[in-house]
Chain A
Amino acid sequence: DTAVSQTPKYLVTQMGNDKSIKCEQNLGHDTMYWYKQDSKKFLKIMFSYNNKELIINETVPNRFSPKSPDKAHLNLHINSLELGDSAVYFCASSQAGTQYFGPGTRLLVL
């Protein structure tokens, strides 16, 4: 029933590891996004995909690579995790503008 879902909800890992966060939407939307919310609650867009094509790629380290196998899924893979990557990552999807967010994934890098 969930419109935009993310897995996992929590992720605790060591520096240097590689991890992935998965996102799925069942709203039939064409566009999906990844946002990062830092420790001060500031939300910033990272990427957007429309019909599996990368549209927005903000200044994000190359260690972050989004992958969209189909328009209902947008996964985020992070290589060589650093302490500064600790944050909450939100997936969102939209059609005609309004964006609907997933529940977020809290990533903690130790």
Chain B
Amino acid sequence: AQTVTQSQPEMSVQEAETVTLSCTYDTSENNYYLFWYKQPPSRQMILVIRQEAYKQQNATENRFSVNFQKAAKSFSLKISDSQLGDTAMYFCAFMKRSGAGSYQLTFGKGTKLSVIP
């Protein structure tokens, strides 16, 4: 079974600064995907970024980038130029194929990020 660990229950960052959220995972799979999802107070789950395990290049989406270390099973999220709208719970998730076009997501417990004006 896969496990995903987010060791920082809460973090805060000053507006315009950079923050890094940590995530480690445990798996015996070789082919998998990793995600970061954001859940603001509105409750909506929003995809932030996706990384395929077979790709060595770190994924980037505007101000969001990841540091994917496959051997260390680490997948951290860096948010640059933090904005007030980045205040949310951030969930790291591991995904593997479960057969017949279905994929199983395993989530970490989340990191609550507060951006301070």
Could you list which residues of chain A lie within 8 angstroms of chain B, going by C-beta atoms?
30-31, 33, 35, 40-45, 48-51, 53, 55-56, 88, 90, 92, 94, 97-101, 103-104, 106
Contacts and interface: CB of A to CB of B under 8 A. Distances in A.
B59 interface: no
Given A40-B109, A50-B102, A101 B45 contact: yes
B44 A97 contact: no
B102 A31 contact: yes
Contacts of B43: 88, 103-104, 106
B75 interface: no
A99 B109 contact: no
Contacts, number: 67
Contacts of B64: none
A103 B102 contact: no
B50 A98 contact: yes
B107 A42 contact: yes
A44 B107 contact: yes
A44 to B, nearest CB: 7
Closest 9 CB pairs of A and B: A101-B45, A55-B102, A43-B107, A50-B101, A48-B102, A50-B100, A104-B43, A50-B102, A97-B103
Nearest to B97: A97
Given A41-B110, A42-B109, A44-B107, A101 B102 contact: no
Contacts of B107: 42-44
B79 interface: no
Interface in B26-85: 33, 35, 37, 39, 43-47, 50
